[in-house]
A = this chain, B = another copy of it.
């Protein structure tokens, strides 16, 4: 069983109102040194496979392209373990 973590983030040009709201709220709470907040998703998968490294990443990348991320507005990053 392999544990894979996928980080899905809005692309850098895309407005992130949820992040902006958190940023303003933190500033209002006195954390005025917080300058930019972006909020994305982290998806943790348990995959029952013998695949490792590049091959496993390719398979999870396929899942991201098909279902887990929206490539028009989102980027993803695959982290193993």
Residues of A within 8 A of B (CB): 1, 7, 9, 19, 22, 25-26, 29, 31, 33-49, 59, 63, 66-68
> Nearest Cβ in chain B — how far from A81, in angstroms?
14
Q: Is A44 touching B48 in the complex (CB atoms < 8 A)?
A: no
Q: Is A67 touching B25 in the complex (CB atoms < 8 A)?
A: yes
> Nearest Cβ in chain B — how far from A75, in angstroms?
12
A1 to B40, CA, bound (A): 20
> Nearest Cβ in chain B — how far from A10, in angstroms?
10
Assuming A37-B43, A41-B42, is B68 touching A29 (CB within 8 A)?
no
22 of the cross-chain contacts (CB-CB < 8 Å) are A1-B35, A7-B42, A9-B44, A19-B43, A22-B43, A22-B68, A25-B67, A26-B67, A33-B47, A34-B45, A34-B48, A34-B63, A35-B48, A36-B46, A37-B43, A37-B45, A37-B46, A39-B42, A39-B43, A39-B44, A40-B42, A40-B44
